[in-house]
Amino acid sequence: VILAIAAVSLNLILGYGRMISFGHAAYLGIGAYAVGIPAYYEIYNGFIHIGIAVVVSAAFAFLTGLVCLRTRGVNFIMITMAFSMMVFFAFVSIEEYGGDDGLVIEVRSEFGRWVNLENDTVLYYVCFVSLLGILYLIRRIVHSRFGMVIQGARGNEGRMQSLGFDTFRYRLVCYVIAGALCGYAGALLGNFTSFISPEMMDWTRSGELIFMVVLGGTSSLFGPVLGAGLFILLEEILSGFWLYWQLIFGIFLILVVLFAKGGIDSWLGRRPER
């Protein structure tokens, strides 16, 4: 469910904005550390954790977006990955928080007695409700005037600019929203694993998120959710049979791209959300 939230947030820029980011996992890591670092100093207030995760992720997305969004294609991909690796190595070098070995979260975020995240069932429902809320939010965004401009810029940015829209600002806001939502997912992930490490923000995790989006369908609201679920299912099954299970994933993705261009969601006959 948590990875589905991250994949849905990525699809906002990848599917609807055609911004292929190989650095989206950085926000997962930032969100997770927003839980782990305050907990290290015995600050367990969940509202503080979530606030830090969302605000810092949004700020990082804004600052990096000012640079990344001035590029296109391969350059955009490489710059987003470079920024992600900068954050990765920054946390690797901070020995106080475990460095490369990571940091154990002794106490999960506290939201009062009615929401006890120490109970795994409660944590699951919090994640599930969060997913539903974020899906609703993104649906509203996609069908709003803002969303139409983003999708228009995806198809023909020059035409949107000629109509008077500042596409750079629209794309930047979209980029920041996606980063903030993924940071929120990272805060949930930190609580779920009770352990954080720089590995959470490695570029390979960003690749996995892209895999989920493409597998489920980039032009669909629910596609990334299906992709995330199928990814986790196949990972659990295949990793128990073969050491090089990622190879099968690669072949499967090629088949999806060739024979189900809209992803699993399109193959199942659902209409794309445009």
What are the tens digits of pLDDT across the range 166-194? 899 999 999 999 999 999 999 999 999 99
11, part of any domain: yes
Which of 58-67, 117-126, 195-204, 229-238 has the weakest average pLDDT?
229-238
Q: How many angstroms separate the CA atoms of 9 and 27, rounded?
A: 10
Residue 32: its pLDDT value, please? 95
Q: Would you say residue 56 has pLDDT above 90?
A: yes
Position 269 scores a pLDDT of: 62
- Spatial separation of the C-alpha atoms in residues 212 and 253, rounded to whole Å: 10
Our CA angle for 78, 17, 76, nearest 5°, is: 15
In this structure, is residue 32 part of a structural domain?
yes
268's tokens:
């199942």
Residue 127 banded pLDDT, cuts 50, 70, 90: very high
Let me know if residue 218 belongs to a domain.
no
Whether residue 171 is contained in a domain is answered as yes
- Other CB atoms within a 10 A radius of the CB of residue 25 amount to 29
| pLDDT exceeds cutoff 60 at 270 | no
Residue 163, in any domain of the structure:
yes
**Residue 99: phi, psi to the nearest 5?**
55, -135
Q: Please report whether residue 221 resides in a domain.
A: no
Q: For residue 43, give the DSSP letter.
A: -
Pick from 106, 107, 101, 105: nearest CA to 199: 101
Does residue 35 surpass a pLDDT of 90? yes
Give the mean pLDDT of 10-33.
92
What's the pLDDT at 243?
74
Tokens 């509202």: give the residue: 47
**CB neighbours of residue 163 within 10 Å:** 10
Beta bridge partner(s), residue 110: 45, 116
CA distance 206 to 208: 5
How many separate domains does the chain show?
1
pLDDT, averaged across the chain:
89
Identify whether 235 is part of a domain.
no
Contact 23, 206 (CB under 8 A): yes
Nearest Cα residue to 63 out of 32, 27, 115 = 27
**Interatomic CA distance for residues 211 and 31, integer angstroms:** 21
- CB neighbour burial string for 214-253, b if at least 16 within 10 angstroms, e if fewer: bbbbbbbbbbbbbbbbbbeeeeeebeeeeeeeeeebeebe
> pLDDT value at position 274?
47
Specify the pTM: 0.90
Q: Give the residue ranges of DSSP H helices in the chain.
A: 2-14, 25-40, 46-68, 73-92, 120-142, 145-162, 167-193, 203-216, 223-238, 245-259, 263-267
Domain membership flag for residue 209: no
DSSP structural state of residue 23 = -
**Amino acid code (one letter) for 190:** G
At 213, give phi and psi (nearest 5°): -65, -50
Q: How far apart are CA 182 and CA 54, in angstroms?
A: 8
Quote the DSSP letter at residue 272.
Answer: P
Q: Which two tokens stand for residue 47?
A: 């509202």
Range of the domain at 152: 2-201
CA–CA separation, 186 and 192 (whole Å):
10
